[in-house]
Amino acid sequence: MSNHDLNVLGRKIAILSFITGSLIFLLYYFTSFWGLFIAGYLFIAAAVIGNSIILIALLISTFKNKEQRKSNLLTSFLMFLNIPVAIFYFWLVTVLSDTMRITFINTTNSPLTSIEITGCESKHINRLAPDESETVWIAIPHPCSIEIRYMMDGKIKNEVVEPYVCKSMGDKRDHRIGDPTNNY
């Protein structure tokens, strides 16, 4: 393989790795589908191996072909830029796996007020009109449950949102407040 072909391949691999990793991350962010979590780890393993092979070939070519040193080093730098991006995505996935993202939906015919979310972390929603919703991010510092207490028609109501969550159980869910089909 010529030095030019190696540089073109290295740049394509770097860009493809960035786009693929970003797509997997974004899909996981919006869906919290655990299959994407696993796919991300498998992709990282494959990308590390593939990028390392090309990077080693580029570095060897840099020492053998001094005229192409600048081009080889530029391609190598482009490939190395994926490392901090991968570390950042890994950190974000770690945060997401320790966070419940719950969209609270008022399914009643009455406005709800003073909505207190307790358990893992205390949060507050002032008011939800009928059919209105609000998403709340709740950190999971340790094994805990998530409950809500709210005012409806002058009465205090209580609901269990999640009876048990622990670290690495983060998810994106809807909770239909006042829905009698809630499992808890």
Q: Based on the structure, what is the number of domains in the chain? A: 2
Residue 111 has pLDDT above 90, yes or no: yes
Tell me: do 82 and 115 sit in the same domain: no
Summarised one tens digit per residue, pLDDT across range 16-63 is: 999 999 999 999 999 888 899 899 989 999 999 999 999 999 988 888
Read off the pLDDT band of 103 (50, 70, 90): very high
Looking at the domain assignment, is residue 16 inside a domain? yes
Tell me: do 150 and 106 sit in the same domain: yes
**DSSP readout, the chain?**
--HHHHHHHHHHHHHHHHHHHHHHHHHHHHH--HHHHHHHHHHHHHHHHHHHHHHHHHHHHHHH-GGGHHHHHHHHHHHHTHHHHHHHHHHHHHHHHTEEEEEEEE-SSS-EEEEEEEESS-EEEEEE-TT-EEEEEEE--SSEEEEEEEEETTEEEEEEEEEEE-TT--EEEEEEET-TT---
Structural domain that includes position 27: 3-97
Tell me: do 93 and 110 sit in the same domain: no
pTM of this structure: 0.78
Across the range 162-181, mean pLDDT stands at: 92
Please say which residue of 55, 73, 97 terminates a domain. 97
Summarised one tens digit per residue, pLDDT across range 117-128 is: 999 999 999 999
Tell me: do 29 and 60 sit in the same domain: yes
Read off the pLDDT band of 184 (50, 70, 90): low
Tell me: do 73 and 128 sit in the same domain: no
Tell me: do 49 and 68 sit in the same domain: yes
Residue 67 has pLDDT above 80, yes or no: yes
Tell me: do 124 and 137 sit in the same domain: yes
pLDDT above 90 covers a percentage of the chain that reads: 71
Read off the pLDDT band of 144 (50, 70, 90): very high
Tell me: do 107 and 81 sit in the same domain: no
Looking at the domain assignment, is residue 182 inside a domain? no
Looking at the domain assignment, is residue 64 inside a domain? yes
Looking at the domain assignment, is residue 172 inside a domain? yes
Look at residue 126 in the predicted model and tell me its pLDDT. Answer: 97
